[in-house]
Structure 1
Amino acid sequence: MVVPTVQGGYMSLTDWSAFSLDRQFVGLKNFASAFRGEALDAAVRTLFLAVVTVIGQNVLGLLLAVLLNGRILGRNVLRTIIFAPLVVSPLVVGYLFKYIFGPPDAGALNALLEALGFAQVDFLGDPTVALWVIVLVVVWQSTGATMVIYLAGLQSVPPELHEAASLDGANAWQRFWNVTRPLLAPAITINLMLGLIGGLKLFDQIFATTGGGPGGQTKTISTLIYERFAQLGLYGESAALAIVLALGVAVLSVVQFAMLRRQEKKTS
């Protein structure tokens, strides 16, 4: 583990590429390029996707957990159906959505729109729409995991607390906000942490759905690392980007964890 890390660190300080056998020491030049141009755009896009997907999967996961924690018919079947996408490979899910949101005269959704008399849309050809398709893919696949964690938290809340709050005149929202929410703090921390880390490392769904297109407008740091390493052969630059991504994930995770733990203590 240590040796590859040291080698990667050394590689990031050189101009090593597929076009030259010589490795010239260039210092922090590769790291400087990670904070401008295409790499900077990819970093901003990565952060955007991480934040939006975390919010989406946690809001939906919590709503579904609250719903399926009640006494509704077929709740176990519904839990299984919602959780099922998580066990499917992200690449397979990405290719599935690529087929659904395919171009006019090819995609399943466009075929449906045409059958209903609506104009077809180039979902993956529009940078803004394509970015939201990726959000949809990630949220659809990840919501089941957040739901399960929230369900575990909800089932650990003593019913006596809700009964006491009801006797005091608290309505359903007040019981959730003042009784359930504080006890869900550990589950919220876990889901937000896992969601942020997964969002910052996002690769498979983008690779399968858009490949970083159109025009590179859906590239993230992970897809940029792959492109510069496997396609362009810029090993030094890709190593520097990988280190920047690892440090970014570590720093943001530590900051988020500290904030969430502080919030847990306030609500406990």
Structure 2
Amino acid sequence: MSTTLRPSEAARTETERVVLPRRGRRRAPAPRRPGLLKFGHWWWALPGIVFVIGIHYVATSVGGFFAFTNWTGIGAFELIGLDNFVKIFQDPTKLGALWNTLFLAFGSVILSNVLGLGFALGLNRGLKSRYILRTLFFMPVVLSPLATSYIWKFIFDYNGPLNLALRGVGLGNIARAWVADPTWAIWTVLIVLVWQNIGFAMVIYMAGLAAVPVEIEEAAAIDGANLWQRFWHVTLPSIRPAVAIATTLGLVNGLRVFDQIMALTGGGPAAATETLATQVYKQSFALGNFGYGAALALLLTLIILVFAVVQQRVTAGRSEES
């Protein structure tokens, strides 16, 4: 029995033969073996991960172990438990170093962040010279802390530029050897720290201010808010993440300050500028008490960790409330 197709059906059948694929079983392509490049997201980071684990975590753990020993750096050692820590809190010099560490950390954080925020607010305006001023204010951050501290030591010298300026304006009775005075030496260190950290805080706050919508400030100004009200209720809540970053990093850097003190005062006079970091160096490398120095280093690490966590919790809580 023959079947006769209409012209339209014949054309459709011919089109299906040309366009549509043939129905039938097709072989599935063989699976390819995954190459090394497919695992590049972790494979290439492996050397860095090993380096970080070895330097930071393994070395810190070994140092923490020696904090409970009487090791002198050579020969055998004995486990002495918490004797090193008891000795630390019974030594007035070490308690003074702890107080100086906290004073320099919180003093530098408060002053550098307040001044850095002020400079950021001023340079965030449409000044023609704002790019030059930003570079000048940020330049101390990239300079060597040791080299700049020696320059400041010359400025604070008894015959240095600061005392010459005081004598020139009739205030010669105030002139003194600032870094050699037990009362003022710690303040000279604080001045150098603040001077070098202002630019870092300024850059962080300028990045935060760039994300503040201009429309909100304009709306607040139209509603009658003055400059201080706009800053307190609009600008500051908008840059809370920048405040958290700047204060946390500034606090950590302030707690482990070392270069400026060794260049300016060396920890003197009369241990007036000793900090935990300088005591770690002196006990470990100058006196050879590696176990005692490791205990001081472990105490400093715990203090940095506690303050960093608390700072992050406080700023995160305020951000969620706002």
Give the TM-score normalised by structure 1.
Answer: 0.94
Q: What is the rounded CA distance, in whole Å, between the counterparts of 1:219 and 1:201 in structure 2? A: 12
1:111 equivalent in alignment to 2:164 = yes
1:203 equivalent in alignment to 2:258 = yes
Asked whether the 8 Å contact 1:33–1:39 carries over to 2, the reply is no
Which has the higher mean CA deviation after the structures are superposed, 60-69 or 21-30? Answer: 21-30
Q: Share of identical aligned residues, percent?
A: 44
Question: Residue in 1 aligned with 2:38?
Answer: none
Question: Residue in 2 aligned with 1:31?
Answer: 85
Asked whether the 8 Å contact 1:15–1:236 carries over to 2, the reply is yes
Question: Residue in 1 aligned with 2:60?
Answer: 5
Q: What is the rounded CA distance, in whole Å, between the counterparts of 2:213 and 2:134 in structure 1? A: 22
Q: What is the rounded CA distance, in whole Å, between the counterparts of 1:171 and 1:147 in structure 2? A: 24
Question: Residue in 1 aligned with 2:143?
Answer: 88
Q: In 2 relative to 1, CA 101–29 (structure 1 residues): closer, same or farther, beyond 3 Å?
A: same
1:41 equivalent in alignment to 2:92 = no
User: For 1:125-164, what aligned pairs fall within 5 Å after superposition?
Assistant: 125-164=180-219
Larger Rg: 2
Q: In 2 relative to 1, CA 241–63 (structure 1 residues): closer, same or farther, beyond 3 Å?
A: same
Amino acid at match of 1:99: F
Secondary structure of the 2:257 match is coil
Q: What is the rounded CA distance, in whole Å, between the counterparts of 1:80 and 1:218 in structure 2? A: 31
Does 1 or 2 have the higher relative contact order (CA < 8 Å, sep 6+)?
A: 1
Q: Which runs of 5+ in 1 are unaligned?
A: none
Question: Residue in 1 aligned with 2:241?
Answer: 186
Give how far 1:259 is off. Answer: 0.7
Amino acid at match of 1:200: L
Q: What is the rounded CA distance, in whole Å, between the counterparts of 1:145 and 1:5 in structure 2? A: 28
Secondary structure of the 2:281 match is helix
Q: What is the rounded CA distance, in whole Å, between the counterparts of 1:200 and 1:145 in structure 2? A: 16
Amino acid at match of 1:35: F
Asked whether the 8 Å contact 1:134–1:206 carries over to 2, the reply is yes
Q: Which runs of 5+ in 2 are unaligned?
A: 1-53
Give how far 1:114 is off. Answer: 3.8
Give how far 1:252 is off. Answer: 1.1
User: For 1:203-242, what aligned pairs fall within 5 Å after superposition?
Assistant: 203-242=258-297
Question: Residue in 2 aligned with 1:248?
Answer: 303
Q: What is the rounded CA distance, in whole Å, between the counterparts of 1:198 and 1:7 in structure 2? A: 23
Q: What is the rounded CA distance, in whole Å, between the counterparts of 2:124 and 2:168 in structure 1? A: 39
Asked whether the 8 Å contact 1:203–1:222 carries over to 2, the reply is yes
1:263 equivalent in alignment to 2:285 = no
Q: What is the rounded CA distance, in whole Å, between the counterparts of 1:35 and 1:52 in structure 2? A: 23
Give how far 1:116 is off. Answer: 4.4
Aligned-residue CA RMSD (Å): 1.4
Q: Pick from 230, 239, 242 the counterpart of residue 175 of structure 1.
A: 230
Secondary structure of the 2:183 match is helix
Q: Pick from 76, 93, 115 the counterpart of residue 22 of structure 1.
A: 76
Give the TM-score normalised by structure 2.
Answer: 0.79
Give how far 1:72 is off. Answer: 2.0
Q: What is the rounded CA distance, in whole Å, between the counterparts of 1:88 and 1:262 in structure 2? A: 35
Secondary structure of the 2:89 match is coil
